[in-house]
Amino acid sequence: MTQLVVENLRKQFATRAGPLTVLDGVDLSLPSGESVAILGPSGSGKSTLLHIVGTLDTPTAGTVRLGDTDPFALGEKGMAEFRNRSIGFVFQEHYLLPELSVLENVLIPVLATQTIAAEQRDWAMELIERVGLADRADHRPGELSGGERGRVAIARSLVCKPMLLLADEPTGNLDPRTAASVMELLLKLQTQTGTMLIVVTHSEAVASLLDRRMYLEEGRLVEDRQTAVDG
């Protein structure tokens, strides 16, 4: 069943030189549980697309449907609640709060909308175990390596059991070997939880690990020819 449908998405930014068209008719459908890599040169609009699909920015035109919901029809408060409940994010910079422990960082998305029940604390601890940091739950981010911080960000992104997981260059700051192990972990957890996954990357090696690869070219998404031929 198709769970994410993006249709004819357009995004223009107003700049001093006039309107800048970044997305010019993006279409994307994702069945539940599927992963897709979005490749494209710097400045091609990958982050812009991910932000709009994640409801962190609004489209100039076009539609996004996640499950039965058009998030942009919900109003600001409804959209924020929907985002918190349904969408997980992993960013290159991770944005961990330095004064909080690993466990507290993982629980931040829960705290945004509700008080933490034992059940959520247990799930957060389970995720921390699954990313291999059980003995680090009390540590601060400053005491962890870059790869370990990436793993905390992955655990945090899944704490609300999102329908859709969005990752923007999640391994961009890591050496190739650490990047590969963080990506493997991300994909393992994605498979276990059944969430849809979109990974923006400029790494063909990272992209090759996902179910599908698409390229952002001149404001549109095109299927990787190799993928199309191979089915």
**Which residues of the shown chain bind Mg ion in the complex (CB under 5 A)?**
47
92, interface contact from Mg ion, ligand ADP, none, CB < 5-8 Å by kind: none
H or E stretch covering 30: strand 18-31
- Four-residue CA torsion sign, 40, 42, 44, 49: positive
Q: Which two tokens stand for residue 96?
A: 């961990």
Q: What is the 3-state secondary structure (H, E, C) of 137-172?
A: CCCCHHHCCHHHHHHHHHHHHCCCCCCEEEEECCCC
CA distance 122 to 95: 23
CB of 215 to Mg ion, least distance (A): 14
Distance of closest approach, residue 136 Cβ to ligand ADP, in angstroms: 31
Using the rule CB under 6 A, which residue among 15, 18, 229, 231 binds ligand ADP?
Answer: 15
Residue nearest Mg ion, Cβ-based: 47
**18 belongs to the binding site for ligand ADP (CB under 6 A):** no
Least Å distance, CB 14 to ligand ADP, is 7
- Residue 212 Cβ vs ligand ADP, minimum distance, rounded to whole Å: 18
Tabulate helix, strand, coil % of the chain (nearest 5). Answer: 40, 30, 30
| Interactions with ligand ADP, residue window 43-62 (CB under 6 A) | 43-48
Nearer to ligand ADP (CB atom), residue 45 or residue 59: 45
Which amino acid belongs to residue 115?
T
Interface residues with ligand ADP (CB under 6 A) are: 13, 15, 20, 22, 40, 42-48
